[in-house]
Amino acid sequence: MPTAAPDTQDIALPQEAAQTTTPAKDAVRIKDLHKSFGTLEVLKGVSLTARQGDVVAIIGGSGSGKSTMLRCINFLETPTSGKIIIDGEEVETRADGTPANRRQIERIRTRLAMVFQSFNLWTHRTLLENVIEVPVHVLKIPRSEAIAQARVLLARVGLADKEDSFPAFLSGGQQQRAAIARALAVDPSVMLFDEPTSALDPELVGEVLTVIRDLASEGRTMLLVTHEMRFAREVADHVVYLYQGRIEEQGPPAEVFGNPKSERLQQFLKSVS
């Protein structure tokens, strides 16, 4: 693992200048992250920091490495090299980059929640059972308490009347809102969204974005991979444009969308508008 990483790509976020005397802590810090699949180098040294309460939107063309980056943060993939620091805790790794401390990974995983494009709900369980699964079996929260909390969360995403339904009987928008309720059930420090609306019919996109917008406004830390550029512009504190495994450009949404410097980003924005 490299010992030093270029900090030049780190994100300096507006909250740093907040009036509070205690500056927001780093929720996620990635340093010089590399990931190869065989001979294909997908991430070529990505560094970024999201402070608590930040919404970081990650945009970029297909194959640029957006999902791989999120999957490395969540340990669904093992980085080839680089550092991942969650809530100030650095993930311990062996020389080959694999996690060295299973207990640590399990603990850190409970602070992260990922929402996938394809929902990934447990199909043979009701919505309520989906939401209480991790709190009861991993976090060891008493079942009655987990159920009470799950009902609050399902109500919050507009699914109070669906707790006994199975995912197959719900629309894509409802399933994704349930997946968000499930993600919230661990009270995560950081939420990772990987194109949460890409699999939805256009008329269902809005209801999911509304839920994500609410979470952003209540100060949830989020890394959000999205193709919804207008939404990214609206909710993000910071936007990162990935091009072939590197951060090509980043900045506040008004800059990245309103005044893109890199030609590649200009092209990309044209292609998605």
Ligand X SMILES: Nc1ncnc2c1ncn2[C@@H]1O[C@H](COP(=O)(O)OP(=O)(O)OP(=O)(O)O)[C@@H](O)[C@H]1O
**Binding residues vs ligand X (CB under 6 A):** 37, 40, 42, 60, 62-68
Question: Which of Mg ion, ligand X, none binds 37 (CB below 5-8 Å, type-dependent)?
Answer: ligand X
Return the number of the residue (67 or 189) whose C-beta is nearest Mg ion.
67
Smallest separation, CB 227 to ligand X (Å): 7
- Tokens representing residue 81 in the block: 């090299």
What is the Cα–Cα distance from 196 to 166, expressed in whole angstroms? 20
DSSP percent split of the chain into helix, strand, coil, nearest 5: 40, 25, 40
The item of Mg ion, ligand X, none sharing an interface with residue 42, based on CB under 5 to 8 Å by kind, is ligand X
Sheet hosting strand 238-243, strand order edge to edge: 112-115, 190-194, 221-225, 55-60, 238-243, 246-251
Phi, psi of 171 (to 5 degrees): -70, 165
Residue 250, binding choice from ligand X, Mg ion, none, Cβ under 5 to 8 Å by partner class? none
Which one, 44 or 156, has the nearer CB to ligand X? 44
Picked from ligand X, Mg ion, none, the partner binding residue 189 (CB below 5 to 8 A depending on kind) is: none
> What is the residue-wise DSSP string for 72-141?
HHTTSS--SEEEEEETTEEPPB-TTS-BS-HHHHHHHHTTEEEE-TT----TTS-HHHHHHHHHHHTS--
CB of 90 to ligand X, least distance (A): 23
Among 67, 93, 130, 221, indicate the residue that binds Mg ion (CB under 5 A): 67
Q: How far is the CB of 11 from Mg ion (least distance, A)?
A: 20
Reference 109, options 166, 71, 64; nearest CA is: 71
Q: Which is nearer to ligand X, 78 or 165 (CB)?
A: 78
H or E, element range at 192: strand 190-194
What is the amino acid identity at position 247?
I
**Chain position whose Cβ is nearest to Mg ion:** 67
Residue nearer to ligand X on the CB measure, 19 or 62: 62
Min dist CB 42 to ligand X, Å, is: 4
Q: According to the binding rule CB under 5 A, does residue 197 interact with Mg ion?
A: no
Binding site for Mg ion (CB under 5 A): 67
